[in-house]
Amino acid sequence: MGRLGVLLLNLGGPDKLEDVRPFLYNLFADPEIIRLPSPLLQAPLAWLISTLRAKKSQENYKKIGGGSPIRRITEAQGQALRSQLQQNGHEAHVYLGMRYWHPFTEEAIAQIKRDQIEELVILPLYPQFSISTTGSSFRLLDRIWKNDPDLQKIKYTVVPSWYDNSGYLQAMANLIATKLDQVKNPSEAYIFFSAHGVPVSYIEEAGDPYQKEIENCAALIMQKLNRSNPYKLAYQSRVGPVEWLQPYTDVAIKELAQQGVKELVVVPISFVSEHIETLEEIDMEYREIAEHAGIETFARVPAPDTDPTFIQALANVVMKALSDRPIAFAETIQPQKNTKLYPQERWEWGMTQSAEVWNGRLAMLGFLILLLELWLGRGQIFQ
Ligand SMILES: C=CC1=C(C)c2cc3[nH]c(cc4nc(cc5[nH]c(cc1n2)c(C)c5CCC(=O)O)C(CCC(=O)O)=C4C)c(C)c3C=C
Ligand SMILES: [Fe+2]
């Protein structure tokens, strides 16, 4: 085996408050997050949304210490993975490639080239595949690869998703069991999985397998846990004026409270590290909603971070990828160029070609104004 590298992919997050706006700009400039009918609109819209959202988002980052812990934790996971692989007989360099903030994927690739890596496993730190996360990183890497003959010499493989890995399921089950055993009625508490949502159009128009993988993952974790507690899966963190996967976490919490549920054990399911959506959104916003609705216990299961069972699971995923047939970027799910990732029916009217052009332009203008109004009018994006 040649010089081995493992490239861990993640979303990234602002290290400090000044980073929030440019981080949001990078996120919304990604056509895998919001795709508009004209690519020319992407940058102005990203600028608009990031500028409008920055203040609220900064307030949230302030509440968790002024920045995202995602880089620190992902670096710790990388180091722990390197030692675990070493113990399992594999000397590997581990790199971090974040999609929207430092260390950017491009920085990791430059280092991989400097280190003259010959064999590379590309492992997203998202257990389930979504076009908006893993898919976006793979598409970026695919573009980088196509333009770089040196990279094309590397024997690489990608791991599209690994939510069904037995060690990962065990790590999640252990973390849940520990938390369950701390509540008043461990056998009755409701296990509440909260996954990051995506717009419904990702699933229905673009064929994103995310919802299926999340549902399967929750069911497999429950099997591993092997307890008879009731459970529910809901989706958090919706952004903007389109329909996202349902049930929404806040609505589901209120419904359970109305049904008389008193104890919730909340499991963040699509994240493997603590970050703003666990530390602020779940721990603060949803806790408040739950307590207000009459839930007496709101216990949150920690993200796996550097949990040893979880790190061993990551090492197993890497070793399996090395022994399996290599998977290329092109083999993974990619939305077609014209896929609607955002509802576009609004500008599909008009009788003649030129009328259609003008209708389209007016509709786009209207759409921008509508977005602006919705973003400003609602005052907060996570509803
Ligand atoms: C599986 C994980 C994730 C999916 C799917 C996902 C889709 C998705 N996200 C946004 C918009 C935002 N996400 C933001 C932060 C954020 N998102 C994820 C993970 C997934 N996103 C993580 C790990 C983080 C946190 C990074 C950190 O700073 O700790 C944010 C910024 C937060 C904020 O402004 O409050 C936005 C915005 C969309 C639109 C989307 C799918 C289309
Ligand atoms: Fe997100």
**Annotated binding residue at 292?**
no
222, 231 Cβ separation under 8 angstroms = yes
Ordered mean pLDDT values, 10 residues apiece, the chain (383 residues): 95 98 97 85 94 97 98 98 98 98 98 98 98 97 97 98 98 98 98 97 94 98 98 95 95 98 98 97 98 98 98 98 97 72 39 38 53 45 27
The whole-angstrom separation of Cα 180 and Cα 186 is 5
- Going from the Cα of 208 to the center of ligand 2, the distance in angstroms, rounded, reads 15
Q: Which helix (H) or strand (E) holds 119?
A: strand 119-124
Choice from 196, 202, 211, 282 to test ligand 1 binding pocket (greatest atom count within 8 A of CB) = 196
* DSSP assignment string, 264-298: EEEEE-S-SS--HIIIIIIIIIIHHHHHHHT-SEE
Task: Using CB atoms within 10 Å of the CB of residue 236, give its burial: 0 to 12 exposed, 13 to 18 middle, 19+ buried.
Answer: buried
Q: What is the dihedral of CA 270, 195, 177, 70, to 10 degrees?
A: 40
Choice from 132, 138, 211 to test ligand 1 binding pocket (greatest atom count within 8 A of CB) = 132
Secondary structure of residue 77 in the 3-state scheme: helix
Angstrom distances, CA of residue 366 to CA of 51, 93, 347, 361: 19, 50, 10, 9
Choice from 277, 283, 341 to test ligand 1 binding pocket (greatest atom count within 8 A of CB) = 277
The closest ligand to the CA of 13 turns out to be 1
- Any residues with CB less than 8 A from the CB of 325 and at least 6 apart, and which? none
Choice from 129, 133, 193 to test ligand 1 binding pocket (greatest atom count within 8 A of CB) = 133
Secondary structure of residue 121 in the 3-state scheme: strand
Q: What is the dihedral of CA 285, 287, 293, 297, to 10 degrees?
A: 180
Which residue has its alpha carbon closest to ligand 1 atom 30? 24
Question: What are the tokens at 147?
Answer: 């333009």
Which residue has its alpha carbon closest to ligand 1 atom 27? 13
Q: Is the dihedral of CA 152, 93, 10, 163 positive or negative?
A: positive
Question: What are the tokens at 372?
Answer: 């602006």
Q: Where are the alpha helices (DSSP H) in the chain?
A: 20-28, 42-63, 70-87, 105-114, 136-146, 166-180, 200-204, 210-225, 249-258, 276, 287-293, 308-323, 353-378
Model pLDDT, residue 36:
79
Q: Would you give the distance in Å from CA 283 to the centre of its chain?
A: 18
- Going from the Cα of 340 to the center of ligand 1, the distance in angstroms, rounded, reads 20
The closest ligand to the CA of 382 turns out to be 1
- Going from the Cα of 108 to the center of ligand 2, the distance in angstroms, rounded, reads 21
Does ipTM come in above 0.85? yes
Model pLDDT, residue 334:
77
Task: Using CB atoms within 10 Å of the CB of residue 293, give its burial: 0 to 12 exposed, 13 to 18 middle, 19+ buried.
Answer: middle
Q: Which residue, among 102, 84, 101, 104, has the nearest Cα to 92 in the 3D structure? A: 84
Report the 10 Å Cβ neighbour count for 56: 15
368, 43 Cβ separation under 8 angstroms = no
**Annotated binding residue at 277?**
yes
Q: Is the dihedral of CA 72, 118, 128, 199 positive or negative?
A: positive
The closest ligand to the CA of 217 turns out to be 1
The whole-angstrom separation of Cα 320 and Cα 296 is 43
Q: Which atom of ligand 1 is nearest to the CA of 20?
A: 34
Q: Which residue, among 156, 150, 88, 86, has the nearest Cα to 119 in the 3D structure? A: 156
- Going from the Cα of 281 to the center of ligand 2, the distance in angstroms, rounded, reads 12
Q: Which residue, among 15, 22, 12, 27, has the nearest Cα to 67 in the 3D structure? A: 15
Lining ligand 1 with CB less than 6 A are 11, 13-14, 24, 27, 33, 53, 57, 60, 68, 70, 126, 130, 132-133, 196, 198-199, 239, 270-271, 275-277
- Going from the Cα of 116 to the center of ligand 1, the distance in angstroms, rounded, reads 33
The whole-angstrom separation of Cα 290 and Cα 318 is 39
Average pLDDT of the chain is: 90
The whole-angstrom separation of Cα 97 and Cα 326 is 20
The whole-angstrom separation of Cα 29 and Cα 40 is 11
Q: Helices 308-323 & 166-180, crossing angle to 10 degrees?
A: 170
